[in-house]
Amino acid sequence: MHYKFKKIEEKWQKKWLAAHAFRAQADSTRKKYYLLEMFPYPSGKIHMGHVRNYTIGDVASRFKMLQGYNVMHPMGFDAFGQPAENAAIKNKTKPDTWTRKCIKEMETELKRMGFSYDWEREVSTCDSDYYKWNQWIFLKMFERGLAYKKASAVNWCPSCSTTLANEEVVEGGCWRCHTKVEQKDLEQWYLKITEYKERLLEDLSQLKEWPQRVLAMQNNWIGKSSGVDIYFRLKDRDRVIPVFTTRADTIFGATYIVLAPEHPLVKELIQGRRQEKEALEFIDKVAKESKVVRASTDIKKEGVFTGSFAVNPVNNEEVPIWIADYVLMEYGTGAIMAVPTHDQRDFLFAREHKLAMRVVIQPKGNSINAEDLSQAYEGDGIQINSAEFNGLSNLEAKEKIAAWMEKKGIGKIQTHWRLRDWLISRQRYWGTPIPIIYCSKCGIVPVPYKDLPVELAKDAPFTGEGGNPLGKVKKFVEVKCPKCKGAARRETDTMATFFDSSWYFLRFCSPKFNDAPFNIGEAKYWMTVDQYIGGIEHAILHLLYSRFFTKFFQDIGMVDFPEPFQRLLTQGMVLKDGEVMSKSKGNIVDPDSMIKDYGADALRLFILFAAPPETELEWEERGLEGALKFLNRVWRIQENLKDKADAELLKVLHKTIKKVTEDFGEFKFNTAIANLMELTNAIYQLGADREVFSKLVIMLSPIAPHFCEELWEILGNKQSIFKASWLEYDPQLLVEENVELVIQVNGKVRSKIEVPRDIPEDKLKELVLKDEKLVPWLEGRPLKKFILVPQKLINIVI
């Protein structure tokens, strides 16, 4: 028979809720601990990924609680977003109705897992109490020129019929529906995240407790690249084309330059030339190409000659100016110098179009020449054909040439970045309205703070056709200009939902605060988030945006720290048969039915035991059975308690306390559980008294909270187990009088010996050399060395 998990879990969930057991209040006399898991999109059902994420967080939270910290562990819902609109169209309902129903269902499921949230702090981003502050933040950014509108080619998802941020384009497709992203010229709202690029990059080094790979991904994404802008003069006109290079050492090998087809100078360069028609056709062709096609490395590099020439400023050589599709307008200066001998792309292009090549770097101990090359030499070496720089190593020359060019005014040491401004407007209904009004007289007018929130029109029609439903609500669109009171039109675009989640961790500090997005004093107490837990899929998007927002709040004096998340854990995915669980694969395991069959505590235990938190976890129902089996085993201990535990068991207990405390602190829940299992096994061998058993129950309580509350009550305690304190171990009990030493001969284990722990070395040596088992190994061979690792091992070298 299993212990009655269903009854027990329901009982304690009710009690916790009624007692506001996890209510957090700022208290400057107590040490705080802010634990946060990434809040979910309310799809209605939780999945195993949520269960894993939130279980990890819950154990950490309850452990810190037992350790006496003032723990804040909030939960909320990232409730805006497209699925609600799709559902509204499909089910003929409103996004609002649908979302709220989903939130209700999800709350129930989360409660059923026994998570220790302070539900009084719950926020949903779709509440105007919340999104009002999105608008407030937007206006603050607008005032500082950090929110701005511009027309440009933007990423457009035809299936979602909305724009996408660069961060939301994954392998050329929409991050949500994978539809191929198109380019469209639109006027859109942007946030100037690029203004923070240096700080976003530099402060990564402060994040010592973030996973390496997340730091690496952010680093890549920001994409700082240092080099030189070199100024090429036009041969027949007083105009300059700057090109960007990271390889200033190859400048003497630049035999032509290439502009992106969209480069503003191109039209002028080709005008009236023999090549004009061909060039125009080429530009037109490239313009029609999608970014994905153009970005594929394996495609042949195409280009045309402009008919114009430029002058290489280091040697006054005339070089032809080409345009080619492999040069991108968005990066660097939109123009490059081509060094076919030392850049593979230039090499392929030059060979195709029979352009000149010159070797300027010789590999050490080898000699190459342009005619014989089958590919570019991109490695290091010694400068040749480079005037006064000949003979230098190219690495040295790179520095020297850059400095020399800067001094002569023909170049400038320059840094270029990959990071672009963040496109935030979306042509969708279910999001935060952008608080802007367009007036034919006054232009772009921000909605005054006193008029916030700009509420979503509740009665927008959901037909699935004809663009943003907000645009069809006259009442919403037609407004008076706040400045001149004349007729004006309201912005109908809404904000990307990543805006909402970029600061919710601050809102949790004072979720009902009415005067600002958050109460500065409360945030000062609770922030920063001590431990943040979530999926790796947010390594760039959400985490980068949140860092940006925090720096913005720092700049406007609302917080006094640059980074929001002290420590980050990215939990691994839950797999079934080696694959990610998904509807399309039909391999989804529903947490709710697992709770029904095994109980939430067993589910929590299994998911923590099966793998360390960061690695992928293979779903195995047998393992879940095993977890329940273990809980039953612990349950039965109470039926056979002794009056006094023996000394041997106390030693095991205190070792376990030490190990489990350390493991919990480092989120090594799998080994912590293994240790608790060993203690349980020892209790089965030796028998436990009520004190030892109570301690086992305390250690297990963060993992299986309902189960342990019940046992705690059975043991006669009146208060919740989470009012108890965590355990101290007695170091005295960890000291063994006798220790077993391993005896190795030449590094191989040949014998073992039990000796008093403080035995003097000479006496030990005498004892060891008498060991019968060693005789065949030592006989007739001179002893070279006797190595003793105290209390562990002896190695005899012969």
Partner RNA sequence: GCCGAAGUGGUGGAAUGGCAUACACGUCGGUCUCAAAAACCGAUGAGGGCAACCUCGUAAGGGUUCAACUCCCUUCUUCGGCACCA
Give whichever of 20 and 294 is closer to RNA, judged by the CB atom: 294
Q: Contact between 611 and RNA (CB under 7 A)? A: yes
Instruction: From 290-298, 397-405, 705-713, 762-770, give the range in contact with RNA by CB under 7 A.
Output: 290-298
Give whichever of 84 and 266 is closer to RNA, judged by the CB atom: 266
Q: Contact between 260 and RNA (CB under 7 A)? A: yes
Shortest distance, position 335 Cβ to RNA, whole Å: 7
Pairing mode, if any, of strands 617-618 and 574-576? parallel
Q: How would DSSP label each residue in 221-260?
A: HH--EEEEEEEEEESSSS-EEEEEES-GGGGGG--EEEE-
Q: Contact between 204 and RNA (CB under 7 A)? A: no
Instruction: From 28-36, 59-67, 626-634, 715-723, give the range in contact with RNA by CB under 7 A.
Output: 626-634
Of the residues 370, 392, 540, 588, which one makes contact with RNA according to CB under 7 A: 540
Q: Contact between 315 and RNA (CB under 7 A)? A: no
Q: Contact between 687 and RNA (CB under 7 A)? A: no
Instruction: From 561-569, 595-603, 678-686, 725-733, give the range in contact with RNA by CB under 7 A.
Output: 678-686
Shortest distance, position 723 Cβ to RNA, whole Å: 29
Cβ count within 10 A of residue 483? 15
Letters for 328-367 (x = contact with RNA by CB under 7 A, - = none) are xxxxx-x-xx-----x-x----------------------
Which residues, 465 to 494, sit near RNA by CB under 7 A?
none
Query: What b/e sequence results for 307-343 when a residue is b if at least 16 CB atoms lie within 10 Å of its CB, and e otherwise?
Result: bbbbbbbbeeeebbbbbbbbbeeeebbbbbbbbbbbb
Shortest distance, position 665 Cβ to RNA, whole Å: 13
Spatial distance between the Cα atoms of 697 and 366, rounded to a whole number of angstroms: 72
Per the omega criterion (within 30 degrees of 0), is the bond before 99 cis? no
User: Can you read off the two tokens belonging to residue 30?
Assistant: 């107590």
Of the residues 153, 186, 204, 217, which one makes contact with RNA according to CB under 7 A: 217
- CB contact at 8 A, 257 and 232: yes
Tally of residues, the chain: 798
Cβ count within 10 A of residue 23? 11
Give whichever of 166 and 717 is closer to RNA, judged by the CB atom: 166
Block residue for tokens 């939780």: 46
Q: Contact between 316 and RNA (CB under 7 A)? A: no
Instruction: From 182-190, 514-522, 544-552, 747-755, give the range in contact with RNA by CB under 7 A.
Output: 747-755
Give whichever of 212 and 316 is closer to RNA, judged by the CB atom: 212
Of the residues 715, 720, 744, 765, which one makes contact with RNA according to CB under 7 A: 744
Q: Contact between 793 and RNA (CB under 7 A)? A: yes
Of the residues 63, 504, 630, 635, which one makes contact with RNA according to CB under 7 A: 630
Give whichever of 233 and 416 is closer to RNA, judged by the CB atom: 416
CA angle at 353 for the pair 351 and 359, rounded to the nearest 5° = 40
Closest listed residue to residue 383, CA positions, set 371, 370, 397: 397
Shortest distance, position 212 Cβ to RNA, whole Å: 4
Spatial distance between the Cα atoms of 776 and 772, rounded to a whole number of angstroms: 8
Q: Contact between 535 and RNA (CB under 7 A)? A: no
Of the residues 187, 740, 761, 766, which one makes contact with RNA according to CB under 7 A: 740
Of the residues 108, 615, 640, 738, which one makes contact with RNA according to CB under 7 A: 615
CA angle at 226 for the pair 222 and 232, rounded to the nearest 5° = 125
Which residues, 109 to 138, sit near RNA by CB under 7 A?
none
Q: Contact between 746 and RNA (CB under 7 A)? A: yes
Show Cβ contacts of residue 776 under 8 Å, excluding neighbours closer than 6 positions: none
Residue 234 pairs in a beta bridge with 310
Report how far apart, in Å, the C-alpha atoms of 133 and of each of 90, 100, 139, 217, 541 are. 31, 20, 10, 30, 20
Q: Contact between 392 and RNA (CB under 7 A)? A: no
Q: Contact between 787 and RNA (CB under 7 A)? A: yes
User: Can you read off the two tokens belonging to residue 399?
Assistant: 């520095």
Closest listed residue to residue 38, CA positions, set 447, 529, 659: 529
Give whichever of 195 and 302 is closer to RNA, judged by the CB atom: 302
Pairing mode, if any, of strands 335-338 and 317-324? unpaired
Instruction: From 86-94, 118-126, 624-632, 642-650, give the range in contact with RNA by CB under 7 A.
Output: 624-632
Spatial distance between the Cα atoms of 709 and 579, rounded to a whole number of angstroms: 36
Give whichever of 44 and 535 is closer to RNA, judged by the CB atom: 535
